[in-house]
Amino acid sequence: MLLLPLAVFAQVLQESTVVDASLNDFANLHPLIVHLPIMLLPVALATQVASLFLWKQPLGWVTLIALAGGVAGAVAAGLIFHPHTLDLTSAAQEVLDRHDSYAYWTVGLSTTALILKTGDLWLFQKKRWLELLTTLVLAGSAFTVSMAGHYGATLVYLHGVGVQGNYVTGESDHEH
């Protein structure tokens, strides 16, 4: 089983002379931008949970800022900078479909959590039920972004998608 990923990389990797890459050297910006929601949504969940117990107001604002950054990153990675793929195997296409499904759930859940958190801070202050609902929705978005990341890593490391631009074009795909 370990030989499969090594065989894939042996086929797709070529020696590169690039040391200091510019943004133009990448086939697509999706792999760079996708790390924002992968990092910020779990941080938002952690600060939201902590705000249930201590430093409620300050941590509420930290949660809102992390959540807003996570939503922006998820929208950018999933809807603006999602690459076109070419000639995928059926297994890689199935992985991509799962990746996309979890990514869209992430956008929906994190946007919902952002709306709830905004309402929690400005409209319905100190409503415990809203804080708990926000926490549950944020937990859902942290789970879905983790799963999207898992399937994205599967595409890259097991199927070689995107490695040195393989199986992707430089264009973004707004239809996925």
Backbone φ/ψ region at 160: left (φ over 0), alpha (ψ -120 to 50), beta: left
Structure confidence at residue 2 (pLDDT):
53
- Does residue 115 sit within a domain? yes
Lowest-pLDDT range of 23-32, 101-110, 112-121: 23-32
The whole-angstrom distance between residue 144's C-alpha and the CA centroid of its chain comes to 8
Residue 125 pLDDT more than 90? no
Q: What's the total number of domains in the chain?
A: 1
What pLDDT shows up at residue 154? 96
Range of the domain at 59: 28-172
The Cα 77–Cα 94 span in angstroms is 19
- Within a domain: 17: no
In-domain check, residue 14: no
Evaluate whether residue 3 is within a structural domain: no
DSSP, collapsed to helix, strand or coil, labels residue 21 as: coil
Q: Is residue 89 part of a domain?
A: yes
Average pLDDT value for residue range 125-147: 94
